[in-house]
């Protein structure tokens, strides 16, 4: 069963490395979607894939939150509205 989530991550400003960490974990879990800054201190993540893999991705975000200065995580279901072509992208 497939699952898609929209995740808003509140980070400390100028923490650019978190995007690469998120992208690497998403690729390791064979997820598709994107990570995109929507403000100086917020990232939007769209993660789609098998339910178990998406759940593991969310668990990773919670584990990394202390190490990567993530202040808050908002998670909501998401209806996939475009084809990500099996790739997880970082949009600058």
Domain boundaries, the chain: 2-85
Class of the domain covering 2-85: alpha beta
Going 53 to 77 to 13 to 89, the CA torsion angle's sign is: positive
Per-residue model confidence as pLDDT tens digits over 10-69:
887 655 677 888 899 999 999 999 999 998 889 999 999 999 999 999 999 988 777 767
Going 60 to 80 to 9 to 34, the CA torsion angle's sign is: positive
The reported pLDDT for the residue numbered 11 is 85
pTM, to two decimals: 0.89
């Amino acid at each position: 069963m497939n699952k898609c989530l929209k995740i808003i991550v509140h980070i400390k400003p100028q923490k650019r490395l978190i995007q690469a960490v998120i992208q690497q974990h998403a690729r390791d879990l064979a997820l598709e979607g994107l990570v995109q800054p929507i403000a100086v201190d917020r990232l939007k993540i769209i993660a789609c894939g098998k339910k178990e893999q998406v759940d593991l991705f969310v668990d990773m975000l919670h584990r990394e939150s202390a190490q990567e200065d993530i202040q808050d995580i908002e998670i909501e279901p998401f209806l996939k509205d475009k084809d990500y072509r099996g790739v997880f992208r970082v949009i600058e």
